[in-house]
Structure 1
Amino acid sequence: MMLIEETAPAAGALPVALLREHLQLGSGFQIGEDSAETMALSGFLRAAIAAIEARTGKVLLTRRFRMQLDDWRDRLGQTLPLAPVQVVNDIRIDDGRGTVTTLSPEGWRLLPDGQRPMLLPTGIILPHVPRRGMVTITFTAGFGESWDQVPADLAQAVLMLAARYYEDRSLEGSRSAMPFGVSALIERWRQVRTLAGRGNREAR
């Protein structure tokens, strides 16, 4: 499986002001609101968001992803690796010889789920993928486009982790360990993830 992030959170959606306030109240830092500092804080927030999304499989701010598979994991239903999925934009099958077919939305449906959203066929099974072919699924996932739509515990975990990155920015390897408070906040969102990898190909 290959998962590609096609869009990134808008700079205006990042809680830079909240992080600045968090640092001032928690550590006594007086942070100037200049463009260089804002860019640095945005970088720490993006790093914290990425770390928490990697641990939980949850997308905090809405964006579009492209997943490429060499075959369905299960033709009765394909699990998507991230949640919550808002919409499946399109599905395309490349036969490996230059022909790409866009599947009709009438042939599949999204089964929303907070942990394991699935792509299900409206018929019996999902369409055949040729042996040397590939299926590409483009979907949009995330809790929302603005920070106030992110669940409170995940939002707080991001601020805490970004603050830790800021405070430890001069230390080597400071981003390798997840602080206990952050781990506690995200624990209920974690799951044993079913990877959307190669399925059992039929003999063809």
Structure 2
Amino acid sequence: MMVIEETQVADELLPVEALTAQLRMGSGFDEADLQEPVLRAFLRAALAAIEARTGKALLIRSFLWTLHGWRDPEGAVLPLAPVQSVTELALIDRNGAAQVIAPERYRLEVDSIAPRLRPQGATLPSIPEGGAAELRFSAGFAASFDALPPDLAQAVLLLAAHYYEYRDETALSQGCMPFGVTSLIARYRPLRMGFTS
């Protein structure tokens, strides 16, 4: 299984001004142009870290999911949420030839935690032996940062500010997420069900 981000978050969607305010940075100085790329990089890193921890796409963009077998042919759980739409399902044979499946043969079951690709019939189309299924979909909470749920937007700003303030700290090489950030994203994290022995 592999998930590829086909479209990236555009620079103009990153809340550089909000992060500048969060950091209480001055404005109007010659260095402002030098800081913007640095702030954008930390915002991208914060978005990626929060998406990895929650299994959620924050800003809407397109993804490609490639898999070599259905875990459950009656419904495949997509690797990210919330999914806005499925744009294409294609079956690829072992020689690389693609067959696009008609959208009437499957549907998206919307769910904020575990969206599923469901068949319109009994099962999803069979993946060819030695081949793969490629599913293109768009996922994310909002098209703009301002439209994100406020707790997720605040978590991104806090984490980006943390990365900026500790950018020279090599003792944090194992990675850490401040308590305030983990508290804000806690309700978005996937639940782990099971028993320990």
- If the length of structure 1 is used for normalisation, what is the TM-score? 0.89
Q: CA-to-partner distance for each residue in 1:152-203, whole Å, 9 max, x for gaps?
A: 1010001000000010011115360111110000000000479xxxxxxxxx
- Give RMSD over aligned pairs: 1.6
The one-letter code sitting in structure 1 at the alignment partner of 2:22 is H
- Aligned to 1:164, the other structure's residue is in SS state helix
The one-letter code sitting in structure 1 at the alignment partner of 2:190 is Q
User: What is the deviation of 1:99?
Assistant: 2.4
User: What is the deviation of 1:143?
Assistant: 1.1
- One of 117, 123, 140 as aligned partner of 1:119: 117
- Count residues in correspondence: 190
Tell me the residue number matched to 2:127: 129
Tell me the residue number matched to 2:74: 76
Structure 2: stretches of 5+ with no match in the other structure: none
Residues 71-110 of structure 1 mapped to structure 2, 5 A cutoff: 71-110=69-108
* Residue 4, structure 1, aligned to residue 23, structure 2: no
Q: CA-to-partner distance for each residue in 1:95-119, whole Å, 9 max, x for gaps?
A: 1134210000000000111000000
In structure 2, do the counterparts of structure 1 residues 149 and 107 end up closer, same or farther at CA, with 3 Å as the change threshold? same
In structure 2, do the counterparts of structure 1 residues 54 and 146 end up closer, same or farther at CA, with 3 Å as the change threshold? same
User: What is the deviation of 1:135?
Assistant: 0.4
Tell me the residue number matched to 1:181: 180
The one-letter code sitting in structure 2 at the alignment partner of 1:17 is E
CA distance in structure 1 between the aligned counterparts of 2:96 and 2:103, rounded to whole angstroms:
22
Contact 1:56–1:189 (Cα < 8 Å) also in 2: yes
In structure 2, do the counterparts of structure 1 residues 164 and 98 end up closer, same or farther at CA, with 3 Å as the change threshold? closer
In structure 2, do the counterparts of structure 1 residues 161 and 53 end up closer, same or farther at CA, with 3 Å as the change threshold? same
Percent identity over the alignment is 48
- Aligned to 1:130, the other structure's residue is in SS state coil
The one-letter code sitting in structure 1 at the alignment partner of 2:72 is D
In structure 2, do the counterparts of structure 1 residues 81 and 192 end up closer, same or farther at CA, with 3 Å as the change threshold? farther
* Residue 38, structure 1, aligned to residue 36, structure 2: yes
The one-letter code sitting in structure 2 at the alignment partner of 1:138 is R
Structure 1: stretches of 5+ with no match in the other structure: 195-204
User: What is the deviation of 1:23?
Assistant: 0.6
Contact 1:68–1:137 (Cα < 8 Å) also in 2: yes
